[in-house]
């Protein structure tokens, strides 16, 4: 650039400055308005959207699908599309290092590549068109980032459409733009802008079709994240009930395992006393749960050996539950002391949703779920409780106090009808006795005909007033 | 009385000169697009302030990082606000810095005499991305852990040097306490120091050359 | 016209100041509360700690006890051990002195020595009487007492403990 051009640029700038404004307060005022808008936006985002809670990092969880930060998603997608290219696609570093590296280099050295003094947009058709295409491509690749390149039925159509939208059209358009700029010099800027616009519309169209035919992302049923102490205790309680009660009992007192295949009759130390809680810190307790005690017969529950195992966060919840429930140095927060189910009034009929489900979850589900030895009696849903089991005809009979279910929870084992010396069903739960109020709730529920929702149960409820109750309604508490 | 104090101070600090040279400058007619640079600076300051506050409770260790963040969010008054602003500020900063760069590109403001301003600006953009990348790991949750695993893995695909770069980034072959610690150091000391220095240079050049004007047909 | 222009600029300057102040306040006030939060938290939890069966305590002979409490500080849990002696003065179950075994000099743990009929501190040879009074040595004041205690229906002595 010669001195004359430099002089011209300076003079032009001076003319603009003379017609301009003062930095303070004119420009700063505008800056401040924008800053205030951004600040307001930040406060709103922080207040109303906040930061989603995520489970704790779990290096042993290899099933987690990793995703980069949103502003690197386009590179991620570019890499995936690039990988589809035959032969070249196998050389990964071209996409991960070479292309982004060259792009950054060009961007950095821009003032030394584009050395003309021209600034008006019609005089810079090539760089503006290329940058526009790159920006559109970055946005579209980001939008497509969650769509896999191969659909579930093995069709590669989605992948090809993505390659067309994200790689082929912008690539070919850029080559065409370069040709127009350097091989045919008399092409007007307007033509180049139109070409860019048409290419962008095509890219948007193809991206739209990709998003349209892509399978809708299924809401992932990730475990909820408990953030407050009370929630963590409750989450730990639920996890303990499902995973641990089978061997350790609902109160951690069990010293001899009963009714667990492979571990029958094994003697174990109780886990609710000082020996465990005072001598093992949180991290050690978590490790015991995660890796088990193989020599002592305890299975590992973490994800290291079993992808469906407990996550690090879940194990932490169990540890917190054990601490606050059994460790006498800790005080259970008052909010965490709520009863398992709302206490029943006289004549009130419990419902599955409100009363029975929490009981089942706490005391039964550890064994009565798929994959355990339980006479095929599954208790994981209302339907399964009523319709599964080897003895389903006799297990739960509405209004019948001799239902097997009610017998075993009250301490009466069911003898095998073919061979009275053997038991068909032992008392339940195998290693403890349910509290009287729980047994009462279960009796009332079955005697009243197993209502599911609170409304159904309310209809069956008998007010213990001297008024004549609805006749024929089965109820444990007889109306006077 | 006030006049006397002011004069005394001005004689020693050069307040009037400062005002004339820094604030009372003539500028070309402003455009709203020109506010993006100062918006980036504003976001940087917000990130610095909230970031400093976060370190009051945050602990960079795999054992405590997650719990300390949980404590900030649920146990400390306004912790959710400080972290919320820092979290969303990071996202906005990447957007605003990128759009600022596009504006400079489309108005060709990087041309003579502002080439160095552009060069420093590209450095600022890369540092901003680096801040985002290192900051993402710090909460030590599933998302951040695995995103960093993949991100460092990509750096590991560099031919010949890949394995070396990977180990240098992670502080070993695996993502570990060392990774968290060095990302923390980079996030709160090294990158911000570099950012602050380059921002200073960027601002000096803007004051020296003045803000570029919006190009007209003559340019 | 120039007057108008001046007014406009003054107005902008004032608005700029106000907006800047607003942003500063909106982030500054929560930040102060955030920083000082631990100081506002109501400290010490309280609890009744069982010491032992009253029947096991010989009259006139210090009965040692110890207990551990866990303090939750943010995300960290620290357990601290405390010890003490319960001394029954007479048959009256209310007539009990309960001493903290922490020496009031530098915090070492004192022990009861039957020969000396006193609490001895191993660190600087301090000596306390059965009542906790300083008999000898550097301690500035008598042993601390657990002043609040009660007897449960099962005959268990409980002391009232408040986290400091």
pLDDT in tens, A318-368: 999 999 889 888 878 877 777 788 888 888 888 888 888 888 887 888 778
The reply to whether A118 touches chain C by the CB within 8 Å rule is no
- Shortest Cα distance from B203 to chain C (angstroms)? 20
Cis link prior to C126 (omega < 30° from 0)? no
3-state secondary structure at position C1: coil
User: In this structure, what token pair is assigned to residue B108?
Assistant: 């060709």
pLDDT of A478 = 42
Chain pair A-B, CB pairs under 8 angstroms: 223
Under 8 Å between Cβ of B38 and A38: no
Scanning the structure block, which residue is given the tokens 């300051």?
B45
Question: Which chain A residue has the Cα nearest residue B67?
Answer: A56
Q: Which chains touch A (3 or more CB pairs under 8 A)?
A: B, C
Please, which residues have CB within 8 angstroms of residue A30's CB and are 6 or more apart in sequence? Answer: B30, B32, B34, B35
- Show contacts of A82-88: CB within 8 Å, 24+ apart: A82/A167, A83/A149, A84/A149, A84/A156, A84/A159, A84/A160, A84/A163, A85/A163
What is the Cα–Cα distance from C67 to C57, expressed in whole angstroms? 17
Instruction: Give SS3 for C116.
Output: coil
| A325 CB-near residues (< 8 Å, 6+ apart) | A233, A237, A272, A332
CB B93 within 8 A of CB B43: yes
Chain B residues touching residue A53 (CB < 8 angstroms) = 70, 73
CA distance C123 to C115: 19
Interval A134-160: pLDDT, tens: 999 999 999 998 888 877 777 788 888
Any idea where the domains of chain B sit in the sequence? Answer: 34-139+188-209
Q: Which of A114, A62, A47 is nearest to A305 (CA)?
A: A62
Q: What is the pLDDT of residue C2?
A: 54
| Omega prior to A264 cis, within 30 of 0 | no
Find the CB nearest B141 among A5, A17, A57.
A57
Lowest average pLDDT, out of A300-304, A460-464, B156-160, goes to: A460-464
Shortest CA gap C55–chain A (Å) = 23
Per CATH, domain B34-139+188-209 is 1.20.810.10: yes
Three-class SS state of C131: coil
Q: Quick one: pLDDT at residue A170?
A: 94
Partner-chain residue, chosen from C16, C26, C69, that has the shortest CB–CB distance to A29: C16
Q: Per-residue pLDDT for C90 more than 60?
A: yes
Residue from A392, A448, A386, A450 nearest A425 by CA = A392
- Torsion angle, CA of A56/A57/A61/A62, rounded to 10 degrees? 140
Eight-state DSSP code of residue B58: -
What integer pLDDT is reported at residue A476 of this predicted model?
A: 46
Q: What is the mean pLDDT of residues A15-29?
A: 86
Say if CB B67 and CB B58 are below 8 A apart.
no
Cβ(B62)–Cβ(B180) below 8 Å: yes
Q: Which positions ≥6 away from B104 have C-beta within 8 Å?
A: B110, B118, B121
B46, B53, B67 ranked by CB distance to C34: nearest: B53
CA distance B109 to B106: 8
CATH code of the domain made up of A229-337: 1.10.760.10
Best of B33, B50, B76, B111 to disrupt the A interface (most A CBs within 10 Å) is: B111
Question: Chain B residues with CB inside 8 Å of A50's CB?
Answer: 80, 84
A29 close to C (CB below 8 A): yes
pLDDT in tens, B116-151: 999 999 999 999 999 999 999 999 999 999 999 988
| SS3 (DSSP) at B15 | helix
pLDDT number for residue A474 = 45
pLDDT digit string, tens, across residues A455-469? 888 888 776 555 444
Give the one of B22, B154, B219 whose C-beta lies nearest to A119's C-beta. B219
Among C11, C17, C26, C66, pick the best mutation site for testing chain A contact (most A Cβ within 10 A).
C26
Q: Report the distance separating Cα C149 and Cα C32, nearest Å.
A: 40
Q: What is the pLDDT of residues A360-409, one digit of tens each?
A: 887 888 778 777 778 888 888 888 888 888 888 888 888 888 888 888 88
What is the rounded average pLDDT of the residues A399-420? 84
Residues of chain C contacting A331 with CB distance shorter than 8 Å: 45, 47
Please state, in angstroms and as integers, the Cα–Cα distance from residue A368 to each residue in A352, A354, A389, A445, B161, following that order.
16, 20, 10, 19, 55
Element (H, E) at C110: none
> Chain A: nearest CA to C22, how far in angstroms?
9
Provide the residue ranges of all domains of chain C, joining segments of one domain with +.
1-41, 46-162
Q: Tell whether the model's pLDDT for residue A472 goes beyond 70.
A: no
Asked whether the beta carbons of residue C33 and residue B78 sit closer than 8 angstroms, the reply is yes
Q: Are B181 and B60 in contact (CB under 8 A)?
A: yes
Answer with the residue of higher pLDDT: A116 or A216: A116
Q: Distance from A92 to chain B by nearest Cα, in Å?
A: 7
CATH 1.10.3720.10 fits C46-162, yes or no: no
Gap between the Cα atoms of A381 and A386, Å rounded: 9
Instruction: Please count the residue pairs, one from chain A and one from chain C, whose beta carbons lie less than 8 angstroms apart.
Output: 33
Residue with tokens 């409100």: A354
For residue range B59-89, what is the model confidence (pLDDT) as tens digits?
999 989 999 999 999 989 999 999 999 999 9
Average pLDDT over residues A424-429: 82
pLDDT (average), residues A111-115: 91
What counts of helices (H) and strands (E) characterise chain B? Answer: 10, 1
A436: pLDDT strictly greater than 90: no
């Amino acid at each position: 650039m010669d001195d004359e051009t430099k002089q011209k640029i300076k003079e032009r700038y001076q003319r603009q400055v003379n017609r301009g404004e003062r930095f303070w307060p004119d420009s700063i005022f505008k800056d401040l308005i924008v800053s205030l808008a951004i600040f307001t936006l930040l406060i709103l985002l922080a207040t109303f959207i906040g930061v989603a809670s995520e489970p704790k990092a779990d290096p042993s969880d290899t099933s987690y699908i990793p995703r980069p930060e949103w502003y690197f998603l386009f590179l991620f997608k570019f890499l995936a599309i690039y990988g589809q290219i035959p032969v070249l696609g196998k050389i990964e570093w071209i996409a991960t290092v070479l292309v982004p590296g060259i792009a950054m280099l060009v961007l950095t050295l821009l003032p030394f590549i584009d050395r003309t003094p021209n600034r008006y947009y019609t005089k810079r058709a090539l760089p503006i068109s290329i940058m526009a295409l790159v920006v559109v491509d970055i946005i579209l690749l980001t939008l497509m980032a969650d769509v896999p390149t191969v659909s579930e039925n093995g069709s590669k159509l989605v992948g090809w459409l993505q390659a067309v939208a994200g790689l082929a059209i912008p690539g070919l358009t850029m080559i065409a733009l370069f040709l127009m700029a350097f091989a045919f010099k008399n092409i007007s800027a307007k033509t180049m802008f139109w070409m860019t616009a048409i290419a962008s519309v095509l890219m948007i169209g193809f991206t739209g079709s990709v998003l349209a035919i892509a399978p809708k992302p299924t809401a992932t049923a990730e475990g909820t994240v408990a953030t407050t102490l009370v929630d963590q205790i409750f989450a730990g309680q639920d996890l303990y009930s499902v995973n641990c009660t089978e061997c350790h009992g609902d109160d951690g007192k069990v010293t001899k395992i009963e009714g667990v295949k492979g571990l029958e009759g094994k003697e174990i130390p109780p886990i609710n006393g000082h020996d465990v809680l005072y001598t093992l810190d949180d991290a050690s307790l978590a490790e015991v749960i995660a890796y088990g005690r193989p020599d002592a017969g305890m299975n590992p529950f973490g994800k290291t050996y079993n992808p469906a195992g407990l996550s690090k966060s879940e194990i932490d919840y169990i540890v917190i539950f054990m601490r606050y429930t059994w460790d006498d140095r800790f005080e259970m927060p008052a909010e965490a002391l709520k009863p398992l189910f709302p206490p029943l009034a006289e004549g009130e009929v419990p419902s599955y949703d409100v009363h029975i489900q929490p009981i089942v979850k706490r005391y039964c589900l550890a064994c009565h779920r798929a994959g355990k030895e339980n006479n095929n009696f599954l208790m994981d849903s209302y339907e399964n409780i009523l319709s599964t089991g080897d003895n389903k005809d006799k297990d739960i009979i509405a209004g019948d106090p001799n239902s097997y279910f009610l017998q075993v929870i009250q301490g009466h084992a069911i003898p095998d009808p073919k061979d009275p010396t053997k038991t068909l069903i032992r008392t339940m739960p195998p290693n403890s006795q349910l509290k009287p109020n729980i047994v009462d709730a279960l009796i009332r529920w079955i005697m009243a005909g197993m209502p599911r929702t609170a409304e159904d149960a309310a209809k069956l409820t008998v007010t213990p007033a001297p008024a004549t109750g609805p006749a024929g309604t089965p109820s444990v508490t007889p109306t006077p | 009385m006030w006049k006397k104090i002011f004069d005394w101070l001005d004689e020693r600090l050069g307040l009037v000169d400062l005002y004339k040279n820094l604030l009372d400058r003539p500028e070309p007619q402003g455009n709203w697009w020109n506010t993006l640079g100062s918006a980036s600076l504003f976001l940087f300051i917000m990130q610095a302030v909230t970031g400093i506050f976060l370190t009051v409770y945050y602990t960079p260790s795999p054992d405590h990082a997650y719990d300390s963040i949980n404590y900030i969010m649920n146990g400390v008054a306004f912790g959710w606000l400080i972290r919320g602003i820092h979290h969303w500020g990071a996202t906005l900063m990447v957007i605003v810095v990128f759009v600022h760069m596009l504006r400079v590109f489309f108005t060709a403001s990087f041309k003579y005499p502002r080439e160095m301003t552009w060069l420093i600006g590209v450095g600022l953009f890369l540092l901003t991305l680096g801040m985002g990348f290192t900051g993402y790991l710090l909460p030590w949750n599933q998302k951040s852990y695995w995103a960093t695993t993949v991100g460092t893995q990509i750096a590991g695909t560099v031919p010949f040097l890949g394995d070396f770069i990977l180990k240098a980034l992670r502080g070993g072959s695996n993502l570990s306490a060392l990774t968290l610690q060095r990302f923390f150091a980079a996030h709160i000391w090294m990158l911000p120091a570099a950012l602050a220095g380059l921002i200073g240079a960027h601002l000096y050049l803007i004051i020296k050359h003045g803000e570029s004007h919006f190009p007209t047909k003559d340019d | 016209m120039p007057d108008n222009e001046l007014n406009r600029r003054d107005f902008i300057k004032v608005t700029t100041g106000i907006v800047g102040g607003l942003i500063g306040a909106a982030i500054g006030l929560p930040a102060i509360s955030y920083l000082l939060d631990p100081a506002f938290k109501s400290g010490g939890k309280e609890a009744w700690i069982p010491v032992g069966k009253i029947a096991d305590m010989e009259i006139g002979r210090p009965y040692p006890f110890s207990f551990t409490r866990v303090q939750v500080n943010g995300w960290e849990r620290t357990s601290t051990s405390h010890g003490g002696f319960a001394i029954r003065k007479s048959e009256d179950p209310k007539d009990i002195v309960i001493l903290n075994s922490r020496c009031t000099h530098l915090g070492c743990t004192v022990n009861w020595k039957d020969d000396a009929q006193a609490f001895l501190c191993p660190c600087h040879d301090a000596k306390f009487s059965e009542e906790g009074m300083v008999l000898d040595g550097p301690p500035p004041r008598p042993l601390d007492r657990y002043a609040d205690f009660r007897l449960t229906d099962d005959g268990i002595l409980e002391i009232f403990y408040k986290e400091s």
